[in-house]
Structure 1
Amino acid sequence: MNINNLFKEKKVVFSFEVFPPKQVSKIDTIYNTLEELKGLSPDFISVTYGAGGSLSKNRTCEISSIIKNKYGIEPLAHLTCINSSKEEVTKILDDLKREGVENVLALRGDIPLEYKGNSSFKYSGDLITHIKERNDFNIVGACYPEGHLESKSYEEDFLNIKRKQELGATHLISQLFFDNEIFYDFLEKKDKYGVKISIQAGIMPVINTKQIKRVVSLCGAKLPKKFIKIMNKYEYNPEALRDAGIAYATEQIIDLISTGVDGIHLYTMNNSYVAKKIAESTSSIIKTINNYKDIVI
């Protein structure tokens, strides 16, 4: 199924992200997580692109196949292209097609330290073009409400997004953010640049201080004062911090849904407990809105 059709059928699309187990772990370790997530009835589940060798990359395809063929949920397979040849990417696309995976999230990926500029692909747009030539997949792109760390300006960022749309991306999933006002400002700006495709808001529940530091270092997400106060208050109480992180993400999601966002993409970090708590708190409002999808919000 082309997941872009979901945005035509529903007012709010709700999905999860999982990642492959480490190379030293058995693939079976993902089963419990997927069993729990299936019970939450997501519209689709995305699978991050394994790093650190061909085994973890193959696991992206394998887990995407499991999600579709064992659990009956539509998968979205991440695919990064930096430091990869066209032959390598084509092989992965062949594997995905063979397993019945129809949707791909096209990403450039982080530039490795040893990178010498010898990749067949320089940008995600190059990857989108390569995938589009096959006419086998629905292509999803990424966007950055606070701007990509490497972008010179917001204008450059939006021009890149517009290019993804023109090349064939059918919807976008945003980088995580903690301040909804930043996302609303981003949505207002996109109209100026003619970005028409649907955008899902990427939300990550932060449940420990180590995770916060890692998130900020990787994507530069701004932390609102309210968020910082909550994290500082419960820094030395792991259970309370977890619950506060869940509550904060839930509040974000309800606010986003209430203002008419196209969808929510929850970065689960393979933590089904957190996903379940958030889904339980938001499912009723999502269901209500989708049951009355023709209403104007």
Structure 2
Amino acid sequence: MKTCDLFSKKTVFSFEVFPPKKEIPVETVYPTLEKLSGLHPDFISVTCGAGGKGGNLTVEVASKIKSLNCETAAHLPCINLDKDEVLDTLQKLREHRIENILALRGDKTPGIEPKCVFPHASDLIAFIRQQTGDEFNIIGACYPEGHPNSKTLAEDIDHLKIKVDAGASELITQLFFDNRDFYNFLDKSTQAGIRVPIEAGIMPVTNKKQIERMVTLCGATLPLKFQKILTRYGHDNTALRDAGIAYAIDQIVDLLANGVDGVHIYTMNNPYVATRIADAIRTLL
């Protein structure tokens, strides 16, 4: 099933997971996948390995999710790929009946020179459309506060419009902690003529160092309310986990009340956190 078809029927609820490191057997993630699929999300997306070179593991994990009667989407970062490698990945996805692709530029990897065959995600999206037509549903990423490499949010939304025009059928946002940033982004995207569904990406904070690293990577800002949570509970992992879950639930309730297209949870492969959130919002979806 193409996930873009779900939005006309319901508020979409989905998860993100990542494969184990290459030296760890892929089967170690299967119990996590079974628990997450048991929460009945609309789909589970699977990230790629460092440097965009974990494509085979991504396909393998996505295939396992399909076997659990849950829809899936495979991440495909292109910064270190050439055309033949992309075509090879598309064939593997086809063989495993995976119809949804999250097309990304990906992050530069220290020590690896980018191939620059696909300088931007929009180039990858256009290539997939040219090669496969409507065979695959292509999901794009977006940034409510603007991509760190963009000078302004307006400039980033202009680039996002190019991505959508190239063939992205839906979008998932990077994490954010202030819903006002998301609503402002939606307004500006609509003004720019972007009409595809946009899922809000939510990361429940369970570890202080983890979130500080993520914020540095993606450029998200921490509102004062959230900073106070980190200050008060950052020394206590259990307390911070519970406070982070409560903060995420509060965000999601507000998003649902305001008619969000969907909610995408960055689970960090933590079924306990995903379960707490799913149980809290199930009747609201």
Q: Same fold (TM over 0.5)?
A: yes
- Matched with 2:64 is 66
Correspondence for 2:94: 97
| Counterpart mapping for 1:27-106 below 5 A | 27-52=26-51, 54=53, 56-68=54-66, 70-106=67-103
Shift of 1:49: 1.3
- Residue in structure 2 matched with residue 211 of structure 1 by the alignment: 210
Q: Does structure 1 retain, via aligned residues, the 8 Å contact 2:52–2:76?
A: no
Compare 207-216 and 15-24 and name the one that shifted more: 207-216
Please give the alpha-carbon distance, in whole angstroms, between the structure 1 residues aligned to 2:113 and 2:231: 41
The farther-off stretch of 247-256 and 234-243 is: 234-243
Matched to 2:184, the amino acid is D
Paired with 1:53 and 1:193, the residues of 2 have a C-alpha distance of 31
Letter in 1 for 2:2: N
**Structure 1: which 5+ runs fail to align?**
287-297
Measured after TM superposition, the shift of residue 161 of structure 1 is: 1.1
Instruction: Return the alpha-carbon distance in structure 1 between the equivalents of residues 241 and 3 of structure 2.
Output: 31
Secondary structure of 2:50 counterpart: coil
* Contact 1:51/1:57, CA 8 A, preserved across alignment: no
Match in the other structure for 1:9: 9
Q: Normalising to structure 2: TM-score of the pair?
A: 0.96
Give the 3-state SS of the residue equivalent to 1:9 in structure 2.
Answer: coil
- Residue 115 of structure 1: CA displacement? 5.0
1:221 pairs with 2:220: yes
Q: Which one is further off, 210-219 or 12-21?
A: 210-219
Q: Choose from 114, 120, 125 the match for 1:128.
A: 125
Contact 1:38 1:71 in 2 (8 A): yes
* 1:208, distance to aligned residue in structure 2 (A): 1.1
For structure 2, the residue ranges without an aligned partner over 5 or more in a row are none
Q: 1:113-158: CA deviations, max 9, x gaps?
A: 3454542111001100111121221101010000000012222111
Distance 1:40 1:163, change over 3 A: same
Q: 1: distance between equivalents of 2:169 and 2:71?
A: 16
% identical aligned pairs: 53
- Find the aligned partners of 1:26 and 1:218 in 2 and give their Cα distance: 28
Within the candidate set 119, 128, 131, 2:116 is matched to 119
1:142 maps to which residue? 141
> Counterpart amino acid of 1:227?
F
Structure 1 length-normalised TM:
0.93
**Aligned letter for 1:66?**
K
Conserved? CA contact 1:172–1:198, under 8 Å: yes
Q: CA deviation at 1:234?
A: 0.9
Q: Which amino acid aligns with 1:85?
A: D
Is residue 267 from structure 1 mapped to residue 246 from structure 2 by the alignment?
no
Following TM superposition, by how much is the alpha carbon of 1:217 offset from its aligned partner in structure 2, in angstroms? 1.2
What's the C-alpha RMSD, in Å, of the aligned pairs? 1.2
Runs of 4+ aligned residues of structure 1 deviating over 4 Å after TM superposition are none
